[in-house]
Amino acid sequence: MQFNLEKLDKNFVLVTVTSSEAEVDEALAEGYKRVVNKINLPGFRKGHIPRHILEAQFGKEVLYEDAMDYLVSKGYFQAIQELKIEPIDRPKLEVVEPIVSGKPFEFKVTVEVLPEVKLGQYKGLQVAKVHPQIGEEQVNERLEALRQRHSELVLSDKQALEKGNFAVIDFEGFIDDKPFSGGAAQSYTLEIGSGNFIPGFEEQLIGMEVGSSRDIKVTFPTDYQSSDLAGKEAVFKVNLIEIKVKELPELDDEFAKSIGNFENLEQLKNDLEEKLISNAQRESEANFLQSAIDKAVENSEVDLPETLIQQEIKELLHRFEHNLSYQGLTMDHYLKYTQKTEEQVLEEFRPEAIKRVKTDLVLSSIAKAEKIGVDESELDAKIEELASIYQQKDSKKLRRDLTKNGRIADIEQSILLEKTAGFIKENVAVAD
């Protein structure tokens, strides 16, 4: 087969593939193998009709469609390898002339390919690195958070409700003297001053006495999650059943023993400090690496294809829907709650998609320039890691499944990008 490449506008190319007479004959023979198994002819078992009889009965043209499919498929994939092009979308096929026995066959495909990246400086970049400092204040904040987490709500002998107390209430809401869906609850615990309820609701409860009732007048915000209630005035009839207060444990050795394998409070503080330092260092390293990558990307030039941007937007949407499902929500629920359209959500993903696409293209180009590759041992190690995460004992089976689903290339690409990012980091000039 002969291949010719012609560059068109905006990352499109025109590929012309020409097959010889011998290759056409090979394709017709392949077409016969496919067609003979589809046709029933009296006097012959299915799949055993001689070719000359098949052609005499139905005409040589009966083989042409399958033969052309064979040549187009084979020729297109050989062209990709021979011309070293990387398609990013489906090709558009154009057949110059129908396939005919004893004549060359030519077809053309127009396809969008990966754009050319003009790399800028990516080695020796000046990147600032933060050295985190963890002091007593941060440790005490984390200690107080632990203390709050292990607090208990206890019944108070207070008669009047104050800010910071927890009110146990029965309530029912009315709009135009009619109750509305979702506006009532029994024995509901509400922290006064938390801001969890409609603005103005909690403040009007202050001063209520246990056993008393009060009408609370509020107006739902105009951007309230339920459009049926947004902007409307409501009256809530509230009964105060109990007042509770938060009881915090003492910060002592017993507290330390109760939450972990610590002998005293000092050990707990040391453990918190070590974890804070470790987390801060990891965050600092991650930010340092991301800053280096961002600079390398900023220094490069590339004409981003809309096709890749749209593909990435769809991937971000898929991940977003997956995360929603973990919260028991669907996309329809989210759109109704936020009063957005799917088009608006997709447009919100666009800046992130553009950044991701450009970053991947630049890192891939750096990998080619620096001859960074992925060997089998690295791929095996990654699959072993995935098998551990997915709790699969047979990593070889996982590899077979990933290969069958066409995911191996994605894993190889992720390893390649990770290695390239590491290369950039190794060649950075650190500015503290």
pLDDT tens digits for range 65-122: 889 999 999 999 999 999 999 999 999 999 988 888 889 999 999 999 999 999 999 9
Decide: 6 and 106 in contact? Cβ < 8 Å: no
Show the domains of the chain with their CATH numbers: 2-113 (3.30.70.1050), 152-247 (3.10.50.40), 280-431 (1.10.3120.10)
Q: Which residues of the chain have pLDDT under 70?
A: 432
Decide: 127 and 431 in contact? Cβ < 8 Å: yes
- Predicted confidence at residue 52, as pLDDT, reads 86
Report the Cα 364 to chain-centroid distance in Å.
Answer: 20
- Predicted confidence at residue 35, as pLDDT, reads 87
Tokens of 255: 């507290």
Q: For the segment 205-222, what is each residue's pLDDT rounded down to a tens digit?
A: 999 999 999 999 999 998
Q: What's the CA gap between 101 and 19, in Å, rounded?
A: 12
Burial (CB < 10 A; 0-12, 13-18, 19+), residue 113, is buried
Q: What's the CA gap between 255 and 268, in Å, rounded?
A: 9
- Predicted confidence at residue 375, as pLDDT, reads 92
